Amino acid sequence: MNKKCVFVIGPEGTGSKLIARVISHVLGIQAYGEWRGGEWRDEGGHKVCHRSLPFGRASRYPDIAEWIAENESDYQVFFDDSGSYVVRAISDGSV
């Protein structure tokens, strides 16, 4: 099986952390409930990264192209045919 690198990115309050935790569990990175969903989770095989937008104390936005470049040689990435999974969470104000 090819190693996968999954980026879960979304505005605060959209459930992106929950999605990252579920993906981590499904890929066998860490059992659900053992990881709180912050930043990178890499246990030597697959890896997942969660970022709320913006993130950090200085309210930064991720450089996704840089993340892909850093991971595409070692991981299966499915983002614009380059090899990473990108999951974006959005909020629907009408719900």
Looking at residue 80, what is its pLDDT? Answer: 36
| Closest listed residue to residue 43, CA positions, set 51, 33, 35 | 35
Looking at residue 79, what is its pLDDT? Answer: 47
Say if CB 25 and CB 19 are below 8 A apart. no
Say if CB 38 and CB 50 are below 8 A apart. yes
Tens digits of residue pLDDT in 43-62: 768 888 888 888 888 888 88
pTM of model > 0.85: no
Adjacent-strand bridge partners of 66 = none
> So where are the chain's domains?
5-88
How many CB atoms neighbour CB 23 within 10 A? 21
